[in-house]
Structure 1
């Protein structure tokens, strides 16, 4: 006769939770346990208690009402989230830590029917298990992923490192001409270090030989990875682009789309904060797998594996994603790559256009759950909306040089251009321009409510989003809200300043014809974006999203510069009605707010979404020159 299941932990059996208050019969069934209710005589409760004591030993001393939420993931590993009410703060519920537990090996444990068996999570990123995982994923991806198919012998980049197959082979820079072969690319952060670079003066020497001792440790690790994968060529930006040649840099940056797309694999040194820190190394013990003994109901002595969730968002335990996670150039490199090997501090993550998983088979959370290489494929269905979604993820990234804002995006822009056949205008598309103009600075994404001062360098015309710093979002997130243009683009130009047609611009002008109303714009506190409003009547004013910090000047308002003293203002400004969208009877009107910058010329200052069009009754139709 079968014994009754534990009333607290349900014997860790998720199969029949559909009728239970502890969970629902969904794709990811779950149960929530009060830790004070764990049964000391239950084998499974005892297992949970031991795992909690290992991952969150402070739970009983520092937190009240501790709970444990168990969710059965698609990999059939259980994600356990420990929460509690802190005894020191405002009594809010705090997520303390997360860990996975699962089975390993190939035995069949009848006492744990819900748990799946996963692969090995290695203690060293250079282990045989890690490379067996890489080779297995490469074989599966190459043979069965339709979206990841590419030539086995693609054209090599203009320059590439020839690294041979063994330690005795000469390493040198190669200009391969028409040669075709498989190669890898490296995505890494220079940081404060100054790794060896190719310059005009040392190009001839680099073509002869590059001493192993002269290579930064990250480059040495990348070469080790390539040799283990039997790849004889490697592309590294600092070595394969002549760093003191503006023409070479512009031409090569325009080819990023090809280089990363054609590469057999991109090696992402995510755990290296600069080129001096290796990524093939032993992992910190806090990320390593722990084993817990369990004797199941069928009498078997079972080892349960458990490891901390590195993708957790808990600040005191979360893995530092490293500088690569925040860099704009790396965003493009990952997006354009067919396959990426992320060597993080805690685990090796495989990511391709069809799949993403960690070395033991767990689906990564956090940063890697957005599946960046797959985002570009979605643009094939709706390239303009796809572009807007991509820019939202790109705009939060950081750049060492502000002038790279457009070049660091140029490879992706080239890809979208091939889909749209539209003229590219400093981050916007001519054929979709009325909707593309409906961007706003996103002050909610990071709770950063302080408008920033724009770059002192000219990056883009004011009507284009690259002209400002910070996160950007577009007003087309809901496909059920069809956009109707209410302004006509009479002229739109951008002059490219270099050899990359998707790179830096020197000037841009937009002539926009539409209804123009002169409306009061008020700023109560210039360092708080939520105090900017549009409208004459205090009772009906609407929020205005300022593009950046603004200052009153010469009877108008302009974008601030670093030396300006910010102060409140209330000024009547020209506002042009750009378009509207409508769904279920609700209409939103999109308005661009402008400031005068000279004779008959204007600069964009901000953007507003209004629920009424009364603001434009009696307005005249005008053509405005916006620079």
Structure 2
């Protein structure tokens, strides 16, 4: 038994509690069936716990809850009161200026070892109360707020799924709307996306507890991280700060990347694609667990993209991008001019009206350019902004896709990234009238 487990058991006894749940001891690690069975109820374990003990500052289980930490330097400050005749001294220490200026940094604890681990994310989000043993001190959070050993008390906490009205991270109150739930969903994905996994295949299992709670709230079907009722919006995620992942499927889900899957739609928009059918093949029995594969059959405009120009910036003072950044400029065959562009590395793009990114080949510019020059890149148009009635700023939100099988009919596709193109680079007549039935894998 590791030092962390021993300390956790001692703390549980000290608090007068009779039972403790430790994942790696209570779940048979080498039994896939037991693992899959327990995965489906993980959200209930943490949501119903009296307290979750988090060894937040430990790199591994050998350090325990009470690892050595750097002592604070206390300064004596004398005081006296002539009226009461009291005098003496108190001891004070300096608080980090950066943390005092942004108290949320205390709550995030982003520099703590456990905060980088994917499996530990849902444990914190699902728990009603968490006692953190960090590298510098102890912290406690619950729906009443966040408190530190040194006296800091904030009236909010980290993401919670327990309806805390004081949470600074958009809680889900009872009876909240679907839009509010979805907004919280995307906020949570932003924080979960870049967290690290020992096993790449655990991307969905490590998030299963959170997904199970949202499934109950949304009353929706969960398909490899995407919700069926809002599938068009869900498919238009944009990959930020991405580390490439090999052979994690399906390509249309954010599970295919390690990074931040931010929502691509803001404001009012009109759906241009229509889902015909969809299916996900699971590794086990849990619908929130690991996925073998998945496909979506839809009807949408599928437009070939022509590479107009490939340029390399030598001065980042104009673009705000790194030196020697490469940009790929696209249009469709009927596009009138060439503002539509895909920046394979930078999510902001060069032109604020035409932005895009390759998900997995973003750092390999030559490969992206070759794929484009060979005519193997298409825009699968899913939605269009309708907030601007003048049509001058209409942006068509599309997926960058390529055929899976060169010998096929070209309608079985995989996602390469996303691209948001203005109307002139597409040709509105074509995008409004063209419809192709495709299968996205």
Match of 1:121 in 2: none
TM-score scaled by length of structure 1: 0.55
Whether 1:596 and 2:403 are equivalent positions in the alignment is yes
Give, in whole Å, the separation in 1 of the partners of 2:210 and 2:416.
27
Match of 1:507 in 2: 293
Give, in whole Å, the separation in 2 of the partners of 1:228 and 1:523.
66
Aligned 1:472-483 pairs, distance under 5 A:
472-476=261-265, 481-483=267-269
- Of residues 381, 385, 399, the one that matches 1:581 is 385
Aligned 1:448-459 pairs, distance under 5 A:
452-456=243-247, 459=248
Aligned 1:9-158 pairs, distance under 5 A:
none
- Of residues 405, 422, 425, the one that matches 2:203 is 405
Match of 2:64 in 1: 278
2:186 alignment partner, SS class: helix
User: Offset at 1:370?
Assistant: 4.2
Match of 1:428 in 2: 226
Match of 2:256 in 1: 467
Q: In structure 2, do the counterparts of structure 1 residues 434 and 293 end up closer, same or farther at CA, with 3 Å as the change threshold?
A: same
Q: Is the 1:294–1:304 Cα contact (8 Å) retained in structure 2?
A: no
Q: In structure 2, do the counterparts of structure 1 residues 517 and 278 end up closer, same or farther at CA, with 3 Å as the change threshold?
A: same
User: Offset at 1:621?
Assistant: 1.3
1:252 alignment partner, SS class: helix
Q: Is the 2:125–2:158 Cα contact (8 Å) retained in structure 1?
A: no
Q: In structure 2, do the counterparts of structure 1 residues 539 and 297 end up closer, same or farther at CA, with 3 Å as the change threshold?
A: farther
| RCO comparison, higher one (Cα < 8 Å, 6+) | 2
Compute the RMSD of aligned alpha carbons: 3.2
TM-score scaled by length of structure 2: 0.77
Give, in whole Å, the separation in 1 of the partners of 2:263 and 2:297.
21
User: Offset at 1:386?
Assistant: 1.6
The alignment covers a number of residue pairs equal to 382
User: Offset at 1:292?
Assistant: 3.1
User: Offset at 1:283?
Assistant: 3.3
Give, in whole Å, the separation in 2 of the partners of 1:452 and 1:269.
27
Whether 1:303 and 2:90 are equivalent positions in the alignment is yes
Q: Is the 2:311–2:327 Cα contact (8 Å) retained in structure 1?
A: yes
The CA deviation string for residues 478-519 of structure 1, in whole angstroms up to 9 with x for no partner, is 5xx133222111112111120222101112111121222222
1:399 alignment partner, SS class: coil
Whether 1:339 and 2:144 are equivalent positions in the alignment is no
Q: Is the 1:268–1:343 Cα contact (8 Å) retained in structure 2?
A: yes
Q: Which runs of 5+ in 1 are unaligned?
A: 1-214, 444-450, 552-559
- Of residues 606, 618, 625, the one that matches 2:417 is 606
Match of 2:17 in 1: 231
Whether 1:244 and 2:27 are equivalent positions in the alignment is no
Match of 1:394 in 2: 192
Q: Is the 1:550–1:566 Cα contact (8 Å) retained in structure 2?
A: no
User: Offset at 1:587?
Assistant: 3.8
Whether 1:324 and 2:136 are equivalent positions in the alignment is no
User: Offset at 1:310?
Assistant: 9.2
1:415 alignment partner, SS class: helix
1:242 alignment partner, SS class: coil
- Of residues 172, 175, 190, the one that matches 1:378 is 172
User: Offset at 1:470?
Assistant: 1.8
Q: Which runs of 5+ in 2 are unaligned?
A: 162-166, 313-321, 332-336, 342-353
Q: Is the 2:329–2:340 Cα contact (8 Å) retained in structure 1?
A: no
